[in-house]
Chain A
Amino acid sequence: MQNKKRESKNSLSRKFRLSEFLAENTIKLVSFTSFAIIILIFVFVFREATPIFFHTEKKAVSQEFSKSESYGDESAQSSKDNYSSFSSGSEDAASFKNLTQKEWQPVSENPKYGLLPLFIGSLKATILAILFGAPLAILAAIFSALFASKRLKEIIKPAIELLASFPSVVIGFFALMTIATFFQSVFGLTYRLNAFTGGVAMAFAIIPIIYTVTEDALTAVPKYFSEASLALGATKWQTALFVIMPAATPGIFAALLLGFGRAFGETMILLMATGNAPLSSFNIFEPVRTMSATIGAEMAEVVVGDTHYTVLFFIGALLFVITFIINAIAEFYVRAKLMKRFRGE
């Protein structure tokens, strides 16, 4: 009897099923395709950015070619016509020195490709976003994972996660029109659009990520942790703060990192709400220009193959590397650690 059962089970698993085969391979194909696409994007971005490392001397544009033939305008002549201020012999090289200086003036007679203000801008806006978003998101996660009734949780969780599907342009627009005006009138700010406004707006974008991951981490803590704590006479709050939270710390840390990565790469909100002035100050009420917004704003009009173009791709590569590293840490290191802890190793 038992033998028979095993046999039938075996034959079940061995039997070839077309639908299963197709499903399995389609999923495999899709996942490999997305993997391949990521690799290809990586290769493309880096390929476009490489000329930066082999900077070539650019020939000065000679002035001979300075005038087109005109048509249909034989009579009208004005003094405005002579636009003879073409740059000649400009130094348009993205040397290491040029990239590390404090000015970003890519459209200039002497283009300056200082990445420092952009990096500071990105960092400033991101950190502000984390500072605003993280406490809210984590507290909300603690509440819905540990305190809220099941019914309440079923309302809160989808509601917050719905925020993630908010288009960032809409958040940016809201920040530009409403949040900026509000903060200016409340704090009497000199600059309407600044890192602070951008950071607050971006907090909306990262709250759902931090919330979801934190919530997952908190609910993943095995039940016997809280049961043991409650059995020992600890209150609900004590259990949450001193037992469950420490157990889920790596997960919360991962949530913060993912939020950081998302914020660092966010473009539209920052493009609209931060003022885009490439300043390298640490005053949070001054406008900033972030790396992602710079690409978003300037890529459209740049001459392909130009130094400016290459530098923009270099910024793209940098963004890619930074967010990649952060997400990788969050994914692999922290998650592995979390799992280990729960298995009691």
Chain B
Amino acid sequence: MKNIIVLLLLAVFAFGFTADNKVITVKGSDTMVILAQRWAEKYMESHPGITIQVTGGGSGIGIAALINGATDICDAPRPMKASEREKLKARYNTLGVEVKAAKDGLSVYLNESNSVKELTLQQIKDIYTGKFTNWKQVGGKDAKIIVYGRENSSGTYVYFKDNVLGGEDYTSTMQSLPGTAAVVNAVVKDQNAIGYGGAAYAKGIKYAAVKKDDKSPAYTPSEETIKNNTYPITRYLYMYLKVRPTGEIKDYIDWILSKEGQDIVTKVGYFPVK
């Protein structure tokens, strides 16, 4: 009995050490975790010698892991912050390498029964900073606007704040929910609600058509409008590396940017970069 256990252990160790298995670790945003997982699965199918480990946790955690050297690739739906770059520089004397891996449109959700169909960026900003509190002010019925958003630990929160609110603070009345699915669910159940999140998740609600300003035409988020930048709220989904990729990691990233990799992006519900 004992011998068998020892033998088994030896076998496990021997296998573990001799197997020519290259591991690439990917860590980061929860928004991108499904996409990263699909990429990894598909890539591992055609490249048997390579294992790709994908974990989520959030953009901040992913970038921290990149800085600490705990991951090869970090996924983030927002550009790295200056403070994060500074840390990377202090540690490795590099500013990191940025790969635009996919594109995403941030949709503004409204309840299906809402009579408001279009909003300008300025109106969205005013709603989220608390200047507008009634649907009347943006051409709807006389009802209070119930503002939903994401928790401030989310990359989407930061992106929306930087790009739609121009860095201003969200109104205190914004109810923050964990996850885009929760926001969608809340908007579905609340006639006077407004929410935001990735296009990939939304079902059973309507998207507001967004105008850059009063004069420009309104666009709803779609593959077409997001790809050609006519839809005003788009973002890139990034992958970050410490240094320029070489070897297996380079192959992997090149594959992600190839047609095959970008097809998966479309399948998951995001948009290709090219």
Binding site for B on A (CB under 8 A): 61-63, 65-73, 76, 78-80, 83, 85-87, 103-109, 112, 117, 180-181, 190-193, 271-272, 275-279, 286-287, 289, 297-304
Q: Assess the A68–B85 pair: CB atoms within 8 A.
A: yes
Q: Assess the A190–B146 pair: CB atoms within 8 A.
A: yes
Comparing B3-11, B13-21, B112-120, B164-172, the segment that makes contact with chain A is: B164-172
Q: Assess the A61–B82 pair: CB atoms within 8 A.
A: yes
Given the interface pairs A70-B97, A297-B151, the reply to whether A65 lies near B82 with Cβ below 8 Å is yes
Q: In this assembly, does B225 line the interface, its C-beta being within 8 Å of a C-beta of chain A?
A: no
Most chain B beta-carbon neighbours within 10 Å: one of A72, A106, A271, A278: A72
9 contacts between A and B (CB under 8 A): A65-B89, A66-B82, A73-B100, A85-B167, A87-B167, A107-B161, A112-B169, A192-B146, A301-B61
Q: Which of A70, A85, A117 has a CB less than 8 Å from the CB of B99?
A: A70
A308 to chain B, nearest CB (A): 9
CA distance A68 to B146 in the complex (A): 38
Q: Assess the B175–A69 pair: CB atoms within 8 A.
A: no
Q: Assess the A65–B85 pair: CB atoms within 8 A.
A: yes
Chain A residues closer than 8 Å to B86, beta-carbon distance: 61-62, 65
Given the interface pairs A69-B244, A107-B157, the reply to whether A279 lies near B99 with Cβ below 8 Å is no
Q: Assess the B153–A301 pair: CB atoms within 8 A.
A: yes
Chain B residues closer than 8 Å to A112, beta-carbon distance: 169
Given the interface pairs A193-B186, A301-B154, the reply to whether A277 lies near B99 with Cβ below 8 Å is no
Q: Assess the B151–A298 pair: CB atoms within 8 A.
A: yes
CA distance A66 to B86 in the complex (A): 9
New A-B pairs, 7, CB < 8 Å, besides A86-B82, A297-B178: A61-B83, A66-B85, A68-B85, A76-B273, A80-B234, A192-B190, A193-B186
Chain A residues closer than 8 Å to B157, beta-carbon distance: 107
Chain B residues closer than 8 Å to A301, beta-carbon distance: 58-61, 152-154
Q: Assess the A68–B172 pair: CB atoms within 8 A.
A: no
Q: Which residue of A lies closest to B229 (CB)?
A: A78
Chain B residues closer than 8 Å to A61, beta-carbon distance: 82-83, 86
Chain B residues closer than 8 Å to A181, beta-carbon distance: 189
Q: Which of A72, A87, A298 has a CB less than 8 Å from the CB of B100?
A: A72
